[in-house]
Chains A and B, each alone.
Chain A
Amino acid sequence: MAPQKNDVLYGTLAMLVLKTLAVNGPMHGYAITNHIQRVSADLLRVEEGSLYPALHRMEQRGWLRSEWGMTEKNREARFYSLTRLGRKQLVLEEENWARLTEGVARVLGYA
């Protein structure tokens, strides 16, 4: 395992997945993992095993919908896309995140 990489902070995975899908449109789980890793310039890495439970949970909350399709390599994969509710959730999470980071930054700056 690569100790220098940060596993995605618990609780932010959902937000990252939502954002990824909002930007790129429908994707399968593998592509989501790679995308997060690449865009974060390898600073963040998704624990692959925990991604799928998270995706299912999000689907059940109605943030995502999924369907089976074929990849360019002609493999069957499950593609996830954002629902209207998911978009709302993303806005909420982004706001929360902004507040959280601002708060944390202030605390750190004050100290």
Chain B
Amino acid sequence: MWHGLNAWLRRMWTALLPGRVERDIEREMSFHLAERADELRAAGLSEAEAERRARARFGNPTLQAERTRDVHVVRWLDTFVRDVRYAVRSLLRRPGFTATVVLTLALAIGANAAVFSALDAVLLRPLPFPAADRLVSVSEVSDRTTTTGIPPARLEDWRQLNAAFEAIHGYYVEDVSETSGDLPERVRRAVVSPGFLEVWGIGPVRGRGFTEAEHRFGGPGAVIISERYWRRRFGGAPDILERTVRLGTASVPIIGVMAADFRFPDRDVDLWAPVHVDAPYAQTRESPWYTVVGRMKPGVTPVRARADLAAVQAQLGERYPDTDRDIGIDVVPLKETAVGAVGQSLWLLFGAVTVLLLIACTNITALLLSRGAHRREELAVRQSLGVSRAAVAVQLLTETGVLALAGGVLGVGIAAAASGALRAAGVDLPRFDEVAVGGRVLLYTLASVVAVTLLCGFLPALRMAGGLAALRGGAARAQVSARNPLQWLLVGAQVALSITLLAGAGLLVRSLHELSRVEPGFDAKGVLTFRVSGSWGETANYAAIVQRIDATIDALAALPGVEAAATSGWDVPGVPTQWHTTFEVVEASTDARPIVAEGRAVSAEYFRTMRIPVLAGESCRRAPPPGGSEPPAYEMMVNHAFVERYLSDRPSPIGLHLREVDGPIPASRIVGVVGDARERGLDQEPGPTVYWCMSAPNPMPYFVVHARGDLGALAPSVRRLMKEIEPLRSVYEVAPLEERIGDAFAENRLRMLLLALFATTALSLACVGLYGTLSYAISVRRREVGLRLALGAPRRGIVAHFLARVAWVVAPACVLGIVLSFASSRLLSGMLYGVSPSDPTTLLGVVALVLAVATLAVLVPVTRAALLEPTKVLRDP
């Protein structure tokens, strides 16, 4: 039989690749003719006559060649078509069975294809730039701080001294107001250093890139706008290159439009503007400015690029020891930074749906096996009529193939719908807008169909075609399939795999639950957050910014219904960020250990607004607006964790001074201690934190407003107020703080929901498998059970017998499932909060759930067996 399958495969090969066979046949026949002609020539015939005779004797070579090939092709195609027809007919005769299998497969294949479409769009496909694998993000690593912005003078040095990059550029993003319309509109502007278009390798769809002159201080103004902004603001006007935008007080000509799919630095950028490289303020080696992206030369690896830049930076360290020493370089493929942590989630989900597909396959294998047992007679008849075992096996495989194909076609429909849902649900996740069912997904689905056919079809085909020596009677039927260790093995595998999936989902559910129970240490309820547009250009007059922000805070606090208003400089509390800074205590000896803490800049009203309690000392006061361009000395607050960690050996932290190492802000005095708050993310333990009481660390800090009553009503009154006091600025990112914190964990929730969905599907499949296999085992043994009952066996015994049978399968499966989930818990690392990957409560809960559901699934058939009426069963034919 092996041989038969082998021959069948070879014939299929021939039918698919006819060219090779034809060439072989032709070569063989021309050899024959040449030999014959030689022989005839040796017998004395002329060249031409010898060839003619040789041909005549051989017959029509073309016809022969065709006949020979036909042996390969026609027969194969013929049987194939016949097999398919027969398969469709016999499947249609059992619509219930067919529908079950096709639907199961459609769900499993569809889910698989949908997750693959996301995986493909986000991780596998290159970023939408030419030679995107050469794009890397470049950052510096230093013990002193974790801020990653590159100062402009340093980037300029890198650009001139490196040997590894074709082009390297930096950008920063800010929100500014466009004021040519009736109302100022917030626009998102990316300010880019020279080399912008060279790095991305893409030109504008209209217009041109920036010239050198436009990158000079005092040079002509220019912006490139995004396609989206072109449509939104200018209705796609064709004369766009003659238009201008009004930013603040200056009108700037539009020189280009970028294509719609150009979404860097992010998809919300409306316009790109050139940085002025020779401006006096751009000569700093200290202020963090740029996010840097480089395009490596062909053939250069990130490792080499990193070594090259590190060497350059070592030189700079010697030349500028104050600012540039001890700075390491990190070079990471841009795709990794662009995709971020979503990659891990996607691989996890992909693993989960693959397991789901495996479960579906085992389930269908078991179904096919039981069905095959019913068909034994039909198959035996066919065999005794002379159909070879191989042909029967191929026939069965074809049936599975037809089922898998139908499942695949339906599955593609499901995948299309699901990937639409994924796109909508993952709207804030990187590259999710590219998720779609395309050619690659279709190919993947086709591959799944083939894999499913072989996985599900092989065992039943071998089993049934193999064991059919002769026609046997009904008694033999029971003998053949009563025990069926193979089927029970498959059911066990399903149970084990679903336990693994459920354990993963359970851990994620528990994580989210723990997260929701966490005490954040601040009160997010009733807090509205928003920003007001500003430009980094305003930093030339720092005092004006402070005055403006303070005035805005006061006006907000005076709104009816508002309890308190404040700013939180760099980010809103509760949304994950990292902003570590190194401090030193001015009063301490110089060799004191370094103090690393979270640095936050907040206005004096912040603690009252966020309801973070002051534990010692007093809340800081608003600093008077600074006089010159130098920032003034601020007051400072520290949190409880900071005191515990660094100042516990001192009688009181109040009155000490802290200075940021290598930072621009002068030493500041600690005036109070506040409670710990989970400001850098609800899933993060509150670490040592230092608060500078500065209302405006930058021109566009976040405003936080605590109100009684409805936040929906507050938003419009905030907008009205801002229009009154700052008519040239736009208000944006208006959202309740709770919503923002929720959004920050949107990915966690999506991941948890999907995994839970897959796991419950897996569990229900496993239960169907359990139910089906047991019902079948019982139906086969009906007579035996009846006989036992008639001979006086207690019904309890019958029940116990079948339950023991199930327990023998389910118990080891549970153990195996737990082992598997331990083994795969590494996949979940970094996704869990407040629960360990081997959390016994979760695992026991999952096992209990599986046992409960499994018991329900087996109870029905077992009860039916116990209630059999012996007289009736035994009298049945």
Contact = CB atoms under 8 A, between A and B. Distances in A.
Contacts of A61: 7
A28 B71 contact: no
B261 interface: no
A88 to B, nearest CB: 11
Contact of A60 (B10, B25, B28, B31): B10
Nearest to B66: A53
B27 to A, nearest CB: 7
A98 interface: no
Contacts of A97: none
Contacts of A53: 64, 67-68, 70-71
B24 A78 contact: yes
Contacts of A49: 58-61, 63-64
Interface string A63-80: 000000001010111100
B31 A75 contact: yes
Contacts of A87: none
Contacts of A33: 32
Interface string B834-862: 00000000000000000000000000000
Contacts of B283: none
Chain B interface, DSSP helix/strand/loop, else mixed: helix
Contact of A62 (B6, B34, B58): B6
A56 B31 contact: no
Given A30-B36, A47-B59, A52 B27 contact: no
A33 to B, nearest CB: 8
Interface string A44-57: 00011110110011
Contact of A76 (B10, B31, B71): B31
A30 B35 CA distance: 7
Interface string B26-53: 0111011011101000000000000000
A32 B29 CA distance: 13
B285 interface: no
B58 A78 contact: no
A98 to B, nearest CB: 23
B72 interface: yes
B25 A48 contact: no
Contacts of B7: 60-62
Contact of A30 (B25, B31, B65): B31
Interface in B94-116: none
A56 B6 CA distance: 15
A48 B32 contact: yes
Nearest to B59: A49
A92 interface: no
B28 A48 contact: no
Contacts of B65: 52
Contact of B68 (A30, A47, A56, A75): A56
A33 B31 CA distance: 13
Given A30-B35, A62-B7, A75-B34, A52 B24 contact: no
B55 to A, nearest CB: 10
Contact of A57 (B60, B61, B71): B71
B231 interface: no
Given A60-B7, A60-B11, A62-B7, A52 B25 contact: yes
B232 interface: no
A85 interface: yes
Nearest to B70: A53
Contacts of B68: 52-53, 56
Contacts of B63: 49
A84 to B, nearest CB: 10
B495 to A, nearest CB: 41
A17 B27 CA distance: 20
Contacts of B31: 28-30, 75-78
Contacts of A78: 24, 27-28, 31
A75 B70 CA distance: 27
Given A62-B6, A75-B34, A76-B27, A56 B59 contact: no
Nearest to A2: B57
Nearest to A49: B59
A62 B3 contact: yes
Interface in B589-619: none
Contacts of B36: 30, 48
A30 B64 contact: no
Nearest to B61: A49
Interface string B1-15: 001001100110000
B70 to A, nearest CB: 8
Contact of A56 (B32, B34, B71): B71
A52 B183 CA distance: 88
A75 B27 contact: no
Given A29-B32, A30-B32, A78-B28, A52 B10 contact: no
Contacts of A50: 59, 64, 67
Nearest to A60: B7
Given A48-B57, A49-B63, A53-B67, A85 B29 contact: no
Nearest to A28: B31
A52 B64 contact: yes
A85 B24 CA distance: 24
A57 B58 CA distance: 19
A61 B3 CA distance: 8
Given A56-B71, A60-B11, A77-B31, A85 B3 contact: yes
B421 to A, nearest CB: 50
A85 B6 CA distance: 13
Question: Looking at A52, A73, A78, which has the most chain B CB atoms within 10 Å of its CB?
Answer: A52
B59 A48 contact: yes
Contacts of A77: 28, 31
Contacts of B25: 52, 56
A56 B3 contact: no
Contacts of A48: 32, 36, 57-59
Nearest to B8: A60
A4 to B, nearest CB: 15
A48 B59 CA distance: 7
A62 B27 CA distance: 22
A88 B456 CA distance: 34
A49 B60 CA distance: 7
A29 B30 CA distance: 11
Contacts of B70: 53
A47 B63 CA distance: 14
Interface string A1-35: 00000000000000000000000000011100100
A30 B61 CA distance: 14
B61 to A, nearest CB: 8
Nearest to B64: A49
A66 to B, nearest CB: 9
Nearest to B38: A73
A85 B2 CA distance: 12
Contacts of A56: 25, 68, 71-72
A29 B28 contact: yes
Question: Looking at A60, A78, A85, which has the most chain B CB atoms within 10 Å of its CB?
Answer: A60
Contacts of B38: 73
A96 B60 CA distance: 33
Contacts of B60: 49
Contacts of B27: 76, 78
Nearest to A48: B58
Nearest to A61: B7
A78 B57 CA distance: 20
Nearest to B29: A52
A106 B57 CA distance: 37
Nearest to A57: B71
A75 B61 CA distance: 19
Nearest to B35: A30
Given A53-B68, A62-B6, A75-B31, 6 more contacts: A29-B32, A30-B31, A52-B32, A53-B64, A77-B31, A78-B27
5 contacts: A52-B25, A53-B70, A56-B71, A73-B38, A85-B3
* A-B interface, 6 closest residue pairs, ranked by CB to CB distance from nearest: A49-B59, A49-B64, A30-B35, A53-B68, A48-B58, A62-B3
Interface of A: 28-30, 33, 47-50, 52-53, 56-57, 60-62, 71, 73, 75-78, 85
